Structure 1
């Protein structure tokens, strides 16, 4: 997959098959669209192109919305790398860009820049100034500019349509099972291991403190999770606490991971943590000994989950 940072840097003499969208989460529904795009393009001996935008439009147009995204841009690129796409175009989204009309979007970008032959879009897709463009206008423009449009229906899991919004809600409410089911992979957090207060080590449970740099990245509900990470090629399991450490000091949010049967120094390493299972809500204990007792119970539950499910 070739990644291009601005649509103006793309050119193709041959016709292309294209999809467009923000694709936050690259979830089950997105995957079906991309699978269709890649398959159709290969069958027609054409190149597949996914056009997405960064920053997310709501980060530009609704700066006070505090939107939290399922994926960072790097995570999204990594997920799309596995799909068989020929080209990923990440176009900078700006207020100026948002003023482009639906007609200008189709004519200037899809037709003139991408040399489009077929457009595959998801259900209820909107584009252009004030989101004025839709499947009706796309169909009209496709006749005008000689390309094909295909709309993929909403994808259902257990009779519920999958969407990025529903996944965000599930993550924020602790419903990790539903979120991972809709995503088609484990939700992940990525960050560098930084120095903490090393309190975990003092109670027999040393932790890696994960610093998630991107302030727009969604952090799931506080609580304890079963997790795994690939550390120097080794699949390593553990449990993670997202919270404010109410029993200790409770003054700021932390993300701490205790890896099982592991004693290497991780400071400075960049880790991707996959969230497998939500164990319990964050709790405040009356004493450190009560906290240790609960952590031991958490470890047993986590190890049993790993043994029986993975």
Structure 2
């Protein structure tokens, strides 16, 4: 997959394109349906499949005091989209200048001129352009004039009739419901972040931990003890992680500490990708470090049993 960062790096394409457009935060099953529809059309017609997304999330710029937390950072989003067989991925930097671009200019300059678009695939209620004045109807009218087709992919609903959305996934994570979140995402819940230096409390328990610093706007699940896998290079390592405070050590600040089983090499400044599989328990205060260590051992035993089936 060819990755293009910014409109300034986008040149006119030789092949005609089928383009899917959206923020695609989480790359959940609804997003995957949109992107897969574009890939299928492109392959059938011998055209390029293109995904256009925006970074940061448009609401970070338009409503900075009321922006949503981010389900997937850009690196993970790129990885998930690449796995869907996309040929080209354009990441448009969303800022106040781009927010002023009219729907007409976006269609004319980006879709028609640069991508030579033949098909546009978007989700239900898609809007774009300055003031969100562009919509499905506008795209269809533009397509009639400039010879491209538009496909609107309807929202997907759960078995219970609830619409699948990034907002719903954020709420499920907030409630600690990993299973439901995973079903709607269509892939595991991931956390990514940089390993920073900690206070050394992990060594006191006999279980060394990597302290993870995530993006400020990252969606982090409900406080608790979880199990999953940590990606180091191309290898998945069984792990147990504490998301939240450490009351036994009188630490109130919410943190992410990961104990990677059978791994003791330094990881400072490395970016780790953590795949969450299950929530083991709530966080609690223990009477002393020894009692905490006994609980961690029990957590690890339970984690091994769960991960053996994952």
TM value normalised by structure 1: 0.92
Deviation string, structure 1 residues 259-292 (Cα, Å, up to 9, x no partner): 2233333334332111111112222334334433
Distance 2:107 2:151 in 1: 15
Cα distance 1:223–1:121, how it changes in 2: closer, same or farther (>3 A)?
A: same
Kindly report which structure 2 residues correspond to 1:1-310, keeping only aligned pairs within 5 A, or say none.
Answer: 1-8=1-8, 9-158=10-159, 159-212=161-214, 214-307=215-308, 309-310=309-310
Aligned length: 308
SS in 2 for 1:251: strand
Q: Which moved more, 1:18-27 or 1:98-107?
A: 98-107
Contact 2:38–2:49, Cα closer than 8 Å, also in 1: yes
**Tell me, which stretches of 5 or more residues in structure 2 are unaligned?**
none
Distance 2:121 2:137 in 1: 14
Contact 2:205–2:292, Cα closer than 8 Å, also in 1: no
Cα distance 1:248–1:85, how it changes in 2: closer, same or farther (>3 A)?
A: same
Distance 2:80 2:293 in 1: 38
SS in 2 for 1:253: strand
Q: Structure 1 residue 241: deviation in Å?
A: 0.2
Contact 2:54–2:93, Cα closer than 8 Å, also in 1: yes
Deviation string, structure 1 residues 40-97 (Cα, Å, up to 9, x no partner): 1011011111111112111111111243101111111122222211111111112222
Q: Which moved more, 1:133-142 or 1:144-153?
A: 133-142
**Tell me, which stretches of 5 or more residues in structure 1 are unaligned?**
none
RMSD: 1.8
Distance 1:257 1:114 in 2: 44
Distance 1:91 1:261 in 2: 41
Distance 1:66 1:284 in 2: 33
Q: Which moved more, 1:39-48 or 1:9-18?
A: 9-18
Contact 2:12–2:113, Cα closer than 8 Å, also in 1: no
SS in 1 for 2:120: strand
Contact 2:227–2:240, Cα closer than 8 Å, also in 1: yes
Contact 2:228–2:307, Cα closer than 8 Å, also in 1: no
Deviant stretches of 4+, over 6 Å: none
Q: Structure 1 residue 245: deviation in Å?
A: 0.8
Contact 1:7–1:113, Cα closer than 8 Å, also in 2: no
TM value normalised by structure 2: 0.92
